Amino acid sequence: MTDSKPHRIKPQTLRGFRDFLPDQMMAREQLIETARTVYRSYGFAPIDTPALEYAEVLLGKGGDESDKQVFRFQDQGGRDVAMRFDLTVPLARFSAQHAQQLGTPFRRYHIAPVWRGERPARGRFREFMQCDFDTIGTLSNSADIETLFVINDLLEQIGIERFTIRVNNRRVLNGLLERTGAQQQAVAILRALDKLDKIGRDAVCREMTEQSGISTQTAEQVLNMAQLNGTPDQILLQLETMLRGSETGEQGLQDLKQLFDCVAHCGWPQDRVRLDVAIARGLDYYTGTIYETVLGDLPEIGSVCSGGRYDNLADLFSAQQLPGVGASLGLDRMLAALEELGLMQTSTTPAQILITMMDPDRIPEYLQLGRRLRQRGISVEVYPEARNFGRQMKYADRRGFRCCIIAGSDEFAAQQWLLRNLADGTQTVISDAAAEAEIAQQLAATSAG
């Protein structure tokens, strides 16, 4: 059915959307696998929800600006549908819908793509992956502390050596605002405070007075409290004095103290966890502990893993109160960081060995050796054609195989294979009878050396 095609379609992706070639995709799969393993080690279980939902389920929570970014349309049945723009709203709908069956506490992770029609920019895409984990249905600070542990293990397992998890508590912030008499303007003040890193103290002070109507003096007072310096213990001590008498503030402080008490037993490097009263997280819905994670060697890219505690996940969908705490790994940002830090693998093949093909009449022999090696747990690709040997070597080199196996008429006559180490060009003669054992041994030796 291959007619001539005079009018070919230009092969292109939409703006803000990406293809992932093997080298990129292998790095992505590895990162996702690490996240999955760490989440699972704490008892978080996977879930998935549809890419498409009723528009009313997804909209109306984020405000007009974010609603405009949603990919929304009428389906064939005339339903008003939309593509999910995050994994939190679907989790809220999911939790309300399956509450009975799930029970509480409920720990889930969800690793899936989301879509936003934002203006594409460097590092900002219209399709990207989210890697969320949450503990739902408990108010216990134990879940907050474990959220911190998960973030730590995640970064460690990814292979990052120097990073700092900045912790704060919205109750502490609210307590401090009470002290200044500005608690009514909390949302606008905290939204401004959250920009401290980006726009600096003066600009934040200006935004606070303009957006929330507080005096410059009060704004300065808030900023002074937020910019407390020192070890967590020193800051906690100062906060204790400042928050005395504020019930909200004292509760938040209690939780932070317990968290830092646990951290003290972890044996982590100093500065692994910092108490930073200036972080507020933009989202309105956090109500307790909040987290941000910055890389020691690449702080300018911003937080790679953020989250916090919220009072009520699903109030759009259910009368049941569902408090929770969780965080999300920024997959694309983390991959960009790994690339910049030289921590990304560069191979474009998942197989270690290429069996080259010299004699097309020996296809059964080449394929059979491949099978024998795979049964031994060795990944192996068989080059499918008896092309020019130099071309096969170029292919092996470009794809990043560690070794290749060669056999022509001489080797078949002698019941042997040649194993060539592609890093140094050395060759070893391998007997066919014990090929899988000898090759496994050679591989182990080269990877140890």
| Binders of a second copy in range 192-251 (CB under 8 A) | none
Piece of the chain touching a second copy by CB under 8 A; list 54-62, 192-200, 206-214, 273-281:
54-62
Question: Pairing mode, if any, of strands 127-136 and 163-169?
Answer: unpaired
Establish if 388 lies at the interface with a second copy (CB under 8 A): no
Piece of the chain touching a second copy by CB under 8 A; list 166-174, 203-211, 357-365, 441-449:
357-365
Establish if 385 lies at the interface with a second copy (CB under 8 A): yes
- Judged by CB under 8 A, the residue of 64, 76, 122, 424 near a second copy is 76
Q: How large is the angle between the packed helices 170-180 and 232-243, nearest 10 degrees?
A: 40
Establish if 35 lies at the interface with a second copy (CB under 8 A): no
Q: How far apart are CA 48 and CA 94, in angstroms?
A: 9
Q: How far apart are CA 347 and CA 341, in angstroms?
A: 17
Q: Least distance in Å: CB of 266 to a second copy?
A: 7
Quote the DSSP letter at residue 121: B
Nearest to 152 by CA among 310, 272, 320, 276: 272
Both tokens of residue 307? 């989250």
Secondary structure of residue 441 in the 3-state scheme: helix
Binding to a second copy (CB under 8 A): which residues in 90-129?
Answer: 93-94, 96-98, 101-103, 105, 107-108, 113, 115, 117, 126-127
**Is the CB of residue 303 less than 8 Å from the CB of residue 293?**
yes
Is the bond preceding residue 46 a cis peptide, omega within 30 degrees? no
Secondary structure of residue 212 in the 3-state scheme: helix
| 397 alpha-carbon distance from chain centroid | 31
Q: How far apart are CA 238 and CA 384, in angstroms?
A: 70
Q: Least distance in Å: CB of 86 to a second copy?
A: 15
Piece of the chain touching a second copy by CB under 8 A; list 53-61, 168-176, 191-199, 330-338:
53-61
- Judged by CB under 8 A, the residue of 41, 184, 415, 431 near a second copy is 41
Establish if 29 lies at the interface with a second copy (CB under 8 A): yes
Q: Which is nearer to a second copy, 120 or 302 (CB)?
A: 120
Establish if 364 lies at the interface with a second copy (CB under 8 A): yes
- Judged by CB under 8 A, the residue of 199, 266, 414, 444 near a second copy is 266
- Judged by CB under 8 A, the residue of 62, 66, 67, 71 near a second copy is 71
Piece of the chain touching a second copy by CB under 8 A; list 24-32, 239-247, 292-300, 332-340:
24-32
* Measured CA distances, 386 to 364, 366, 390 (Å): 13, 11, 11
Number of neighbours of residue 266 by Cβ within 10 angstroms: 12
Binding to a second copy (CB under 8 A): which residues in 289-308?
Answer: none
- Judged by CB under 8 A, the residue of 141, 168, 174, 442 near a second copy is 141
